[in-house]
Chains A and B, each alone.
Chain A
């Protein structure tokens, strides 16, 4: 079973030479493995997060503190974007559309006066 997955990996590796971003490489490595279900995949993602941020070496209560802080900050970012981004986008669109509408009117006026 393991040899089969290794051969499949080598075949996939030949296909995936040149992959640069970590997200894409993560997706490819998931395809290479026997990820039976969503739960295992989420567990693998959490393990990657622990390793990359360095939280893996900390004691469980320190990990909880860090996770809480990170989760709070991410929640605040999402809330702020949910409240404010539509308003900002609408205002920006209005500003730019007014600019565009104002321009053809002035050029038309110039041509008529000539």
Chain B
């Protein structure tokens, strides 16, 4: 499965060109133009330091990413809004403290008042006074499979979101723009569901053991071989939980005396794993290669902090697609840096596996690179495969080491059989080995949907973050009241979205995050876009 870069480039070439013929505009943007630019640079500046020129040579197609700056007026108004809400938060805290108002929070008992405080009151200030007021936008109970459309349970709150009651009504066919259902495998009909139910009948649902004891099923071995073939690596190992894959395996690989260089906006699982390992952690600016190179050079030159001994290992932790920004990692440059400075690369493809690349093999396939260059390829099966769990792929020695030393293998329950079967079926579908072209159709549909959605929203003047090819589309909202209002207005018009605010994002950059899926039809995307347009009259999302 491992081809050299030259033949991979050829494959990538032809695929890009055919896609370009099919659709107009946007995707597969002028590959010829890119080559022309490369040639021009080669002739015009032969004696240049080669830093900038070689960087453009690494990319086979244009890398268009945009993070528009917050307009000044919007930033000022956002801070003002937060200030007003903080003042009212203090007022409500005062009323609660002086018993003028019923307190719904956890409180210590009267006898414990002189003890060390159990509940750190000020840390929860934001939760009590801001999050609670708009809490009905999150944790909405779902009654059906979270496909392109879903059913939600209707809730009402008599006391402003402190408690909820179900009315008994069901909101049917809400367009689902929040589930990570990139290839549409979250469905309860079709081959995946049928094979998963057959597997349940044979193996049951519970595994009742860890991987090292009696929890190693032949389905796991089959899945591991299949995943290794899918990714193009020598060997792979699967785990029951995606979060645990990161947080339990990084400590097995890193220890004190090692250096971890992690991106600013890495996921909590990566941060937790890095902290648990005990290694030194240094953070570089998001997707910024100059910052990363500076850190690498400092590590080479100065070594460990006090002793100046060389670092035992240097690991670069990045993600394929960052889910809050929608940006794609600059993988060619990172691999060039890694080879130059002899560091290791850990790539977390939670959102990008199955969603990027002409064959759906993730961000490595998207850039047309060699999977052998990435030392540890990690990913989850939660997003594109419609299941749960994670995997780590790499060289055989690495995976054999992890089988013995990973905390997850020793202590955590292994993957459940029907889920394993779901992943096997969906992976075979994406690879085209089940005899149908369904996988390839879904991949094309996802990339078309992504391009169309992003293009339309951009044309209307909304501020969208991230790369033009990423299926995660954050739409900036900025002001605290708009977070709650947007979520509610969208639900009134039968669209379910995820809105995100502080602390998942910086305080003024709150956003609504759309996840485009291959299961969405053009009509559904048009409905969402038109609703956005209609709501923009009310919300003014910083429209230019």
Q: Which residues of A contact B (CB under 8 A)?
A: 2, 6, 9, 13, 17, 22, 25-26, 29, 32-33, 44, 47-48, 50-59, 62, 66
Q: Which residues of B contact A54 (CB under 8 A)?
A: 80-82, 84-85, 479-481
The 8 A CB mask of B517-544 against A (1 = contact, 0 = none) is 0000000000000100110111110011
B537 touches A56 (CB 8 A): no
A59 touches B160 (CB 8 A): yes
B84 (CB) vs chain A CBs: closest residue: A54
Q: Which residues of A contact B530 (CB under 8 A)?
A: 2, 6
Q: Which residues of A contact B479 (CB under 8 A)?
A: 51-52, 54
B540 touches A56 (CB 8 A): no
Q: A57-B480, A62-B88 are in contact. Are A29 and B134 (CB under 8 A)?
A: no
Q: Which residues of B contact A50 (CB under 8 A)?
A: 481
B537 touches A33 (CB 8 A): yes
Contacts of B70-101 to chain A: CB distance below 8 A: 73, 77, 80-82, 84-85, 88, 91
B84 touches A6 (CB 8 A): no
A51 touches B82 (CB 8 A): no
Q: Which residues of B contact A62 (CB under 8 A)?
A: 88, 91
A22 (CB) vs chain B CBs: closest residue: B73
Q: Which residues of A contact B82 (CB under 8 A)?
A: 54
Contacts of B239-283 to chain A: CB distance below 8 A: none
Min distance, Cβ A32 to any Cβ of chain B, angstroms = 7
One of B134, B461, B485 near A51 (C-beta < 8 A): B485
In the complex, what distance in Å separates the CA atom of A57 from the CA atom of B484?
Answer: 7
A51 touches B84 (CB 8 A): no
Q: A53-B84, A62-B88 are in contact. Are A47 and B481 (CB under 8 A)?
A: no
B84 touches A56 (CB 8 A): no
In the complex, what distance in Å separates the CA atom of A32 from the CA atom of B540?
Answer: 13
A13 touches B133 (CB 8 A): no
Q: Which residues of B contact A48 (CB under 8 A)?
A: 538, 540
29 chain-A/chain-B pairs, Cβ below 8 angstroms: A2-B530, A6-B533, A22-B540, A26-B540, A29-B536, A33-B537, A48-B538, A48-B540, A51-B479, A51-B485, A52-B77, A52-B81, A53-B81, A53-B481, A54-B80, A54-B479, A54-B481, A55-B481, A56-B481, A57-B130, A57-B133, A57-B480, A57-B481, A57-B484, A58-B133, A59-B160, A62-B88, A66-B84, A66-B88
A-B contact sample (8 more), CB < 8 A, given A26-B540, A54-B80, A57-B480: A2-B534, A9-B533, A25-B540, A48-B540, A51-B481, A54-B82, A54-B84, A58-B88
Q: Which residues of B contact A56 (CB under 8 A)?
A: 481, 484-485
Number of interface residues of B (CB under 8 A): 31
B220 lies within 8 A of chain A by Cβ? no
A50 (CB) vs chain B CBs: closest residue: B481
In the complex, what distance in Å separates the CA atom of A50 from the CA atom of B345?
Answer: 48
Q: A17-B544, A25-B543 are in contact. Are A57 and B85 (CB under 8 A)?
A: yes
Contacts of B95-142 to chain A: CB distance below 8 A: 130, 133-134
A17 (CB) vs chain B CBs: closest residue: B544
Q: Give the one of A51, A59, A62 with max B CB within 10 A.
A: A51
A57 (CB) vs chain B CBs: closest residue: B133
A13 touches B461 (CB 8 A): yes
Min distance, Cβ A109 to any Cβ of chain B, angstroms = 53
Min distance, Cβ A34 to any Cβ of chain B, angstroms = 10
Q: A17-B544, A25-B543, A58-B133 are in contact. Are A53 and B88 (CB under 8 A)?
A: no
Min distance, Cβ A35 to any Cβ of chain B, angstroms = 10
Min distance, Cβ A95 to any Cβ of chain B, angstroms = 35
Min distance, Cβ A70 to any Cβ of chain B, angstroms = 10
Q: Which residues of B contact A33 (CB under 8 A)?
A: 537
In the complex, what distance in Å separates the CA atom of A58 from the CA atom of B160?
Answer: 9
B538 touches A44 (CB 8 A): yes
Q: Which residues of B contact A53 (CB under 8 A)?
A: 80-81, 84, 481
